Amino acid sequence: MKIAVIGGGSTYTPELLGGFIREEKALGLAELWLVDVDARRLDMVGGFCQRMARAAGARFAVRLASERAAALDGAAFVLTQIRVGGQEGRHRDIQLGLRHGLIGQETTGVGGCAKALRTIPVLLSLSDEMRARCPEAWLINFTNPSGLVTEALLRYGHPRTIGLCNIPITMQLEIAARLGVEPARVQLDYVGLNHLGWVRRVLVDGQDVLPGMIEHLLGAGRPANLPEELDFPPEFLRALGMIPNSYLHYYYATRRALEELRAAPRDRAQEVMEIEGELLAHYADLRQDTPPAALARRGGAHYSTAALHLMCAIHGDRAERQVVNVAAGGAVPGLDPRSVVEIGCAVDRHGAHPLPVEPLPPEIRGLLQHVKAYEELTVEAAVRRSRRHAILALSAHPLVADAALAVTLADEIAAEHSLDWLRREEP
């Protein structure tokens, strides 16, 4: 088997490589291609990965390329983990939001919109090339904003696309650890969008333990998968009766989240740039062939676990249940079947098949549909290069929700990222 990683110069890649080393036999992996437009990073990260694979006794070849063609030819899986504009672009998005009293996180609100507008065209170009070079390959998208990008790819690009996020599997592992059971015994009734999801039931050997677990977690001080500094009021969590994805603190505690972003001496992009400096220095050291401890501070925990579980389930036709990003296909009442959701799926050689869920209660339905409308408009803006759709998308997002501000934000995104089409008014 041949697998291509687009964005192979990412500092995440050694963590992903560890997964390939563990599962090379299950996949029958022969070639792993790392592709990146940044030749310097590819040399450092790719060279380290080659040493790491040799030290581990891996039998597959790790190949490096600055062009996609050779990597895509005959590939069975293509993983995308690109960052258009780099961490500097992420920093500008965060600061753009803060200038206007908004959260500019890279998957949420104005930051997510800005990142999607410059990322979707690049990945649609990749999907065009895949149609010519590896039409049967599965595209596994980890590029943020993952659900939104996956929706663009499924609507306008490669039909064999599945979006991936490490949050659901992290929640499963953390919940299993808290309960003291093996992760395989835990099944989450998880529904939502990427970075906007809820665990409605926690099944251990088929029995729902969520109500008692919420009480236990509140007694321990905070619920699972929420940052220590952002616990929600116990009365709210009892009323909700679900475990929210950690990114929901941007919606459920907006003022507090914004205050903390403003008070921080550095934003997340600046923190990551510093961490990446350490990581790249380690990767460039020809004496090193094991990942450094600093990789744990980079984020993306369990990325390789999620990615390898998905690929092994497809390749091995395992019919496993996993939470991934796919078109709803009628599984979520009240949503367009084409809308991409993050949901439990049965994964086999034919892909990921969404499992039907109960109707969404109003306490989550409204927010989910609100953000989904924003996502649909953002996809149209990126695909059509439409200023009109970008303004409508920004004004529709619940963390912006201001028409005049949406126009200003569109202008500033265009200026920050040289998106000339976003400056042009439409007839």
Does the annotation count 247 as an active-site position?
yes
Burial per residue of 284-316, b for 16 or more beta-carbon CB atoms within 10 angstroms, e otherwise = eeeebbebbebbeebebbbbbbbbbbbbbbbbe
CA angle 371, 377, 111 (to 5 degrees): 65
Q: Where are the beta strands (DSSP E) in 243-359?
A: 243-244, 320-327, 340-348, 351-354
Pairing of the two strands 196-204 and 207-208? antiparallel
Q: Helices marked H in 9-108 — which ranges?
A: 13-27, 39-41, 47-55, 69-72, 86-99
Under 8 Å CB-to-CB from 212, ≥6 apart: which residues? Answer: none
251 close to 367: Cβ distance less than 8 angstroms: yes
Alpha-carbon torsion 329, 334, 339, 342, what sign?
Answer: negative
Q: Helices marked H in 180-302 — which ranges?
A: 210-220, 234-240, 249-252, 254-263, 268-284
CA-based nearest residue to 33, from 9, 58, 57: 9
CA angle 383, 389, 393 (to 5 degrees): 110
Q: What is the CA radius of gyration of the chain?
A: 21
314 close to 322: Cβ distance less than 8 angstroms: no
CA-based nearest residue to 314, from 166, 137, 194: 137
CA angle 232, 235, 238 (to 5 degrees): 95
Catalytic pick among 247, 251, 303, 374 = 247
Q: Where are the beta strands (DSSP E) in 24-145?
A: 31-35, 61-65, 77-80, 138-141
58 close to 71: Cβ distance less than 8 angstroms: no
Alpha-carbon torsion 294, 299, 305, 307, what sign?
Answer: negative
- CA distances in angstroms from 241 to 76, 205, 285, 359, listed in the order given: 41, 20, 50, 15
Residues catalogued as catalytic: 247
